[in-house]
Structure 1
Amino acid sequence: MPSLDAESLALLQLNLTSGIGPRLQSLLLARFGTAQAIFAASGSEILQVDGIGPKASAAIVSGRNLSDAQEEWNRCCETNTKIIFRHAKDYPPSLNETSDPPPVLYIRGDVLEQDLMAVAIVGSRQCTHYGRTIAHSLANQLARAGVTVVSGLARGIDAAAHRGAIEAQGRTFAVCAPGLAHIYPAEHKQLAEEVTQQGALITESPLDRSAQRGLFPQRNRIIAGLSLGVIIVEATRTSGSLHTARHAMEQGRDVFAVPGRIDTVSSEGCHDLIRDGAVLVRRVEDILDALSPALRPVKTNPQTVVAVARELNLNDQERTVLNLVDFSATSIDAVLNRAEMEASRVLSTLTVLEMKRLVRRLPGGNVERVTG
């Protein structure tokens, strides 16, 4: 079993200490410099830090032997759970740029470089069939475009978003409020396992922390922080997903909202967001076009190239011909030779793709793929 260095073990113990959240951890580290120095300090020295009371000070002092952290680390190793500290090079950079990043992340699954291109989809737990269908469809199309779909593993919209990405063989993150020893809701254990196969479960909560009401709004800042933008699908004016939208605005992320019926309360929160400047979502292109400066073309395998804009509504023939065109000059004769269809159909399809600004013609009988 691998071991943690002394400073990381102290950081883990600090995260496990009752009453010491991310803000107080930052204040303590600013005062003492290292987690080891915090546990070496006297109770009176710890009390000098703003926000630290006698109860929190006593909890820190009682944890000096770091035994809780060692036990937690051993359990993580046994359950294939990674721990990433904020100072580590593999800590998600988009999350590190937020004002209140988690000092410790628990991750079950894999976080890849391509997951920097992530978009969150959140909304009501008591969603309608319309909301569930839209969330599933948007997630499916975003995943096909190489975008990682982030959500919160909750019932309703969250679950539909995860399933849409999984069915597209795409990437998805589930940001959990409780610890990973307590999958919530319990009926989503199978879904959580599928997420780990095509992405990751992520939380800042220790393994044994159970689901508590206050954890969910706190969790929402991580959903926003991992994402380039947040899409709200069906939200009443009291929906918790509006907290995610607020975090996204504060973090400088784009906020998108899907409209619903104007005579129901289920989308009043979405309509308020649209009125206040959120991007109206009619189709997936509205999202991809708004995020296009931050996105780049992604290769899903050596034979299939998926661009992140304007390609999702192509028919099979158009997509087949497009995938024969490289991002550098490609001979039209080479496209004709590789295409398993009549030459006239290939040439007419290239014309359609040119009209859709997906390819451009070059001198000498060549074409090339358009990247933006």
Structure 2
Amino acid sequence: MNRKYNGDEPYAYWLANVLGIGNRMKRKLSAYTKSARAVYEMPEKELAQFLSGKKAEKMVKERKRWDVEGEYGKLQEKGVNFVSLSEPSYPEKLAAIEDAPFGLYFYGRLPDESVPSVAIIGARECSEYGRYMAGLWGNQLAGEGVALISGMARGIDSIGQRAALEAGGNSYAVLGCGADICYPAESRDIYEQMKMQGGILSEYPPGTGPKPQLFPPRNRIISGLSDVVVIIEAREKSGTLITADMALEQGKEVYALPGRATDSLSEGCNRLIKQGAGLMLSVSEMLEETGLREKKERWEENLSGAKSGEGDKGQVKLEDCLDFYPKSIEQLQGESGMEYREIVCRLMGLCMEGEVKQVSAGCYQKNGKYNIRI
């Protein structure tokens, strides 16, 4: 059975799939009309105020051929979640970047805004030293309660993510293809594991195959979702440095692992450090320097507050609102009278305990083992 959706979701999905119009314009149109459905219903003359005549005409013709609810139903049948920029559950960090994707397709869940997140990226053909450091820091970040963001690429990316998952942490992969395609195929194990311990994200519709031109744009999402980007091994002219540049443009902290001056795999990292990037020597030191440790401690305090003291009373109220059919955060907010952030924090705690599960973007329901109060 397809889950229920609000009246705007199928139209947001349609708008995300409109070709020839960039993310900025889609965002502008949505802000102007206040909903994707209103964009869909805009007269051609009004559309022409934002788009060239030919683009406005093409958009009107294409929307007549698009079965809004039918196409959205097909997406649901595939089990892929979709969230648009206009929804509260869209990641705030990502929404803040200049060219944020209008829509995200994902499995699992979206990164929690209150949890610190770090991207570990680097060379595909890495050295044993690079492999060791990626694994070590992936493991340590997970132990510190930090979410790991990466692209699941062969080499440094997947090694760091695998280490984080094996340590019981959360990791999120941003793909340069549809979220329903595991690329590279050799990473199938962590691809499946991230659906349970994080998420698989993409701005490309399901079924989109991996193409070289799709990977550079996805790097802005990796850095956009991260508080800090850590580079482990990169040649002087490396694609990894594209992510570093994007991170700096977004105002994010960039750290790099130093290497020998004679090692070509360290040329890019050494150059970044010379230009002002942070010197990555230890996870603990990086967390202190960037303020992420303080952010992590605040998150832990909020999480523990949801389980004790006055938080218990609020949690009972939230439990009373939850049921065995999905409810959105907005529904829970209206029924409980709790603040949005408080609900998200407490839901995360319940999900971690296995008492509640997220069934789609911003929708939660009780698990079978949930303790029913009598």
Bucket of the pairwise TM-score, normalised by the shorter protein: 0.7 to 0.9
Q: 3-state DSSP class of the match of 1:143? A: helix
> TM-score w.r.t. structure 2 length?
0.73
1:266-281 → structure 2 map (5 Å cutoff): 266-281=265-280
Q: What's the CA shift for 1:299? A: 5.4
Q: 3-state DSSP class of the match of 1:36? A: helix
Q: What's the CA shift for 1:168? A: 0.6
Q: What's the CA shift for 1:60? A: 4.8
Could you tell me how far apart the structure 2 residues matched to 1:225 and 1:112 are? 11
Q: What's the CA shift for 1:277? A: 0.6
1:186-335 → structure 2 map (5 Å cutoff): 186-292=185-291, 295-297=295-297
Q: 3-state DSSP class of the match of 2:178? A: coil
Q: Which amino acid aligns with 1:209?
A: T
- Which residue matches 1:306? none
1:11-90 → structure 2 map (5 Å cutoff): 11-30=12-31, 32-43=33-44, 45-50=46-51, 52=52, 54=54, 57-64=57-64, 66-67=66-67, 69-90=68-89
CA 191–36 in structure 1, closer or farther in 2 if over 3 Å, else same? same
Q: 3-state DSSP class of the match of 1:4? A: coil
Could you tell me how far apart the structure 1 residues matched to 2:120 and 2:56 are? 36
Q: In 1, are the aligned partners of 2:232 and 2:256 still within 8 Å (CA)?
A: yes
Q: What's the CA shift for 1:18? A: 2.0
Could you tell me how far apart the structure 2 residues matched to 1:128 and 1:71 are? 49
Q: 3-state DSSP class of the match of 1:197? A: coil
Between Structure 1 and Structure 2, whose CA radius of gyration is higher? 1
Q: In 1, are the aligned partners of 2:139 and 2:164 still within 8 Å (CA)?
A: yes
Could you tell me how far apart the structure 2 residues matched to 1:57 and 1:276 are? 48
**Residue segments in structure 2 that go unaligned for 5+ positions in a row:** 305-374
Q: In 1, are the aligned partners of 2:234 and 2:268 still within 8 Å (CA)?
A: yes
Q: What's the CA shift for 1:57? A: 4.3
Q: 3-state DSSP class of the match of 2:255? A: strand
| Identical-pair percentage | 35
1:161 and 2:173 aligned: no
Q: 3-state DSSP class of the match of 1:6? A: coil
CA 14–112 in structure 1, closer or farther in 2 if over 3 Å, else same? closer
Q: Which amino acid aligns with 1:292?
A: G
Q: 3-state DSSP class of the match of 1:260? A: coil
Q: In 1, are the aligned partners of 2:80 and 2:180 still within 8 Å (CA)?
A: no
Q: What's the CA shift for 1:56? A: 7.0
CA 114–24 in structure 1, closer or farther in 2 if over 3 Å, else same? closer
Could you tell me how far apart the structure 1 residues matched to 2:53 and 2:273 are? 43
Could you tell me how far apart the structure 2 residues matched to 1:115 and 1:174 are? 18
Q: What's the CA shift for 1:223? A: 0.7
1:164-175 → structure 2 map (5 Å cutoff): 164-175=163-174
> TM-score w.r.t. structure 1 length?
0.74
- Which residue matches 1:5? 6
Could you tell me how far apart the structure 2 residues matched to 1:72 and 1:141 are? 43
Could you tell me how far apart the structure 1 residues matched to 2:222 and 2:60 are? 29
Cα deviation, 1:324-347, whole Å, max 9, x if unaligned, reads xxxxxxxxxxxxxxxxxxxxxxxx
Could you tell me how far apart the structure 1 residues matched to 2:221 and 2:255 are? 17
Q: What's the CA shift for 1:4? A: 3.3
Q: In 2, are the aligned partners of 1:106 and 1:203 still within 8 Å (CA)?
A: yes
Q: 3-state DSSP class of the match of 2:8? A: helix
Could you tell me how far apart the structure 2 residues matched to 1:41 and 1:284 are? 51
Q: In 2, are the aligned partners of 1:9 and 1:66 still within 8 Å (CA)?
A: no
Could you tell me how far apart the structure 2 residues matched to 1:273 and 1:13 are? 41
Cα deviation, 1:235-265, whole Å, max 9, x if unaligned, reads 1122222121112112221100011221122
Could you tell me how far apart the structure 2 residues matched to 1:183 and 1:33 are? 35
Q: In 1, are the aligned partners of 2:44 and 2:57 still within 8 Å (CA)?
A: yes
CA 204–56 in structure 1, closer or farther in 2 if over 3 Å, else same? farther
Cα deviation, 1:183-223, whole Å, max 9, x if unaligned, reads 22222222210111211011111112222222211111111
Q: In 1, are the aligned partners of 2:115 and 2:296 still within 8 Å (CA)?
A: no
- Residues 88-97 or 78-87, more deviating: 78-87
CA 122–112 in structure 1, closer or farther in 2 if over 3 Å, else same? closer
CA 133–272 in structure 1, closer or farther in 2 if over 3 Å, else same? same
**Residue segments in structure 1 that go unaligned for 5+ positions in a row:** 303-372
Q: In 2, are the aligned partners of 1:107 and 1:203 still within 8 Å (CA)?
A: yes
Could you tell me how far apart the structure 1 residues matched to 2:276 and 2:87 are? 36
- Which residue matches 1:339? none
CA 70–182 in structure 1, closer or farther in 2 if over 3 Å, else same? farther
Could you tell me how far apart the structure 2 residues matched to 1:250 and 1:105 are? 21
Cα deviation, 1:92-142, whole Å, max 9, x if unaligned, reads 122122222222111201236476311001111122222122111111100
Q: 3-state DSSP class of the match of 1:295? A: helix
CA 134–53 in structure 1, closer or farther in 2 if over 3 Å, else same? farther
Could you tell me how far apart the structure 2 residues matched to 1:208 and 1:95 are? 23
Q: What's the CA shift for 1:43? A: 4.3
Q: Which amino acid aligns with 2:25?
A: L
Could you tell me how far apart the structure 2 residues matched to 1:183 and 1:60 are? 35
